[in-house]
């Protein structure tokens, strides 16, 4: 029986490597990698530090922090900041930051994050830097980009990538969907009079797509985004979809050629079993392999948000799938 199961699993994996990443039966989605220790998290961004070990930052606290030596056992490490920078209070009464993004460039770690209030696009994205990437070592540099109620986008959920030697930041939540601006390579803030590129949206209000993450693989840029609703425990409907483009600013399309600006996107991962509302994703590279980090709501633990980690594989046709 064990041999049969092994052969069946190998055949399934081989078939998935040949097919585009279209929707699949919920029971066939892989469970996240088993982890221990502090599992509670929301909107994780994960990285293997150059000094050794792993760090994860997240929504909650003053940008909540987790540390791990092996990527499997995680410990609570407090917060990125001891207290909220004063300017955060211009966007909510509690100085509550959301959805951080961690990257490394020019000898420093860069931590982008958003400050806003639920249901408004009076929002801003800020940035801090650190030489080590560890909690308690961050220096805040203020606003990167912002939005107001007169804008047709929402400046939250930042994600930064380098393309053609320049840094770019995707962002967005509901309103008109996912947007992008170019960043200044020295300051890490939006260039003067930055053009706001439109990358993805949904055809109908409330345009429920958010939390972008863009990675380069081969000759394409891949845009991962969370669709539908988060933050409702086991009633959450979050799922992760993906499209790609040969240009960082788009147009992005799914494997059928449908533009993400018309609601397209291949379904990469959705809720299954105890793992409800998979989303808030980021991608990190570790020892030559790509990993998808996300949160899910644990159906067997009253909908508590927890850290999901799956290896991200790439099919022969270039499209990603989770393992």
pLDDT of 144-153, one tens digit each?
999 999 999 9
For residues 145 and 194, the answer to whether their CB atoms sit within 8 Å is yes
Q: How many CB atoms lie within 10 A of CB 198?
A: 18
Q: Tell me the mean pLDDT in the region 80-86.
A: 97
Q: What is the pLDDT of residue 26?
A: 54
So which residues are the catalytic ones? 43, 210
Distance CA 282, CA 291 (A): 8
For residues 229 and 236, the answer to whether their CB atoms sit within 8 Å is yes
Task: Tally DSSP H helices, then E strands, for the chain.
Answer: 1, 21
pLDDT exceeds 90 at position 24: no
Distance CA 216, CA 301 (A): 36
Q: What is the pLDDT of residue 28?
A: 80
Q: What is the pLDDT of residue 27?
A: 57
Question: 252-274 as b/e, with b when 16 or more CB fall inside 10 Å?
Answer: bbbbeeebbbebbbbbbbbbbee
Q: Tell me the mean pLDDT in the region 176-203.
A: 97
Q: What is the pLDDT of residue 65?
A: 98
**Which CATH number describes the domain made up of 2-322?**
2.115.10.20
pLDDT exceeds 60 at position 179: yes
Strand spans (E) along 149-219: 159-163, 166-171, 178-182, 197-200, 209-217
Distance CA 7, CA 72 (A): 28
Q: Could you give the percent of the chain with pLDDT greater than 90?
A: 91
Segments making up each domain of the chain, as ranges: 2-322
Q: Tell me the mean pLDDT in the region 69-82.
A: 98
Strand partners, 259: 253
Q: Tell me the mean pLDDT in the region 12-41.
A: 69
Distance CA 123, CA 257 (A): 33
Tens-place pLDDT, residues 220-265 = 999 999 999 999 999 999 999 999 999 999 999 999 999 999 999 9
Of the pLDDT bands very low, low, confident and very high (cuts 50, 70, 90), residue 12 is very low
Tens-place pLDDT, residues 266-283 = 999 999 999 999 999 999
Q: Which two tokens stand for residue 278?
A: 């998979």
Of the pLDDT bands very low, low, confident and very high (cuts 50, 70, 90), residue 5 is very low
Q: Tell me the mean pLDDT in the region 87-109.
A: 96
Q: Tell me the mean pLDDT in the region 63-87.
A: 98
Q: How many CB atoms lie within 10 A of CB 127?
A: 24
């Amino acid at each position: 029986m064990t041999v049969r199961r092994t052969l069946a699993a190998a055949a399934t994996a081989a078939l998935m490597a040949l097919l585009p990443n279209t929707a699949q039966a919920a029971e066939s989605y892989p469970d996240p990698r088993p982890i221990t220790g502090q599992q509670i998290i929301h909107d994780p961004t994960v990285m293997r530090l150059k000094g050794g070990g792993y760090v994860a930052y997240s929504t909650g606290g003053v940008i909540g922090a987790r540390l791990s030596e092996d990527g499997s056992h995680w410990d609570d490490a407090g917060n990125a900041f001891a207290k909220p920078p004063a300017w955060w209070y211009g966007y909510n009464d509690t100085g509550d930051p959301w959805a951080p993004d961690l990257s490394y460039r020019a000898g420093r770690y860069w931590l982008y994050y958003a400050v806003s209030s639920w249901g408004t696009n009076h929002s801003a994205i800020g940035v801090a830097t650190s030489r080590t990437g560890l909690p308690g070592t961050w220096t805040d540099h203020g606003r990167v980009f912002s939005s107001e109620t007169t804008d047709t986008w929402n400046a939250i959920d930042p994600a930064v990538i380098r393309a053609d030697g320049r840094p770019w930041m995707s962002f967005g939540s509901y309103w008109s969907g996912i947007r992008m601006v170019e960043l200044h390579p020295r300051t890490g803030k939006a260039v003067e009079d930055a053009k706001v590129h439109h990358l993805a949206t949904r055809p109908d209000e409330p345009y429920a797509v958010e939390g972008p993450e863009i990675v380069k693989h081969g000759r394409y840029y891949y845009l991962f985004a969370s669709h539908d609703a988060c933050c409702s425990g086991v009633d959450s409907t979050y799922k992760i979809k993906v499209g790609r483009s040969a240009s960082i600013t788009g147009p992005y399309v799914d494997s059928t050629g449908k533009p993400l600006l018309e609601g397209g996107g291949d379904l990469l991962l959705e809720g299954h079993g105890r793992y409800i509302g998979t989303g808030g994703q980021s991608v990190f590279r570790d020892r030559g392999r790509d990993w998808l980090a996300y949160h899910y709501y644990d159906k067997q633990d009253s909908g508590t948000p927890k850290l999901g980690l799956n290896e991200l594989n790439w099919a022969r046709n270039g499209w990603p799938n989770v393992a």
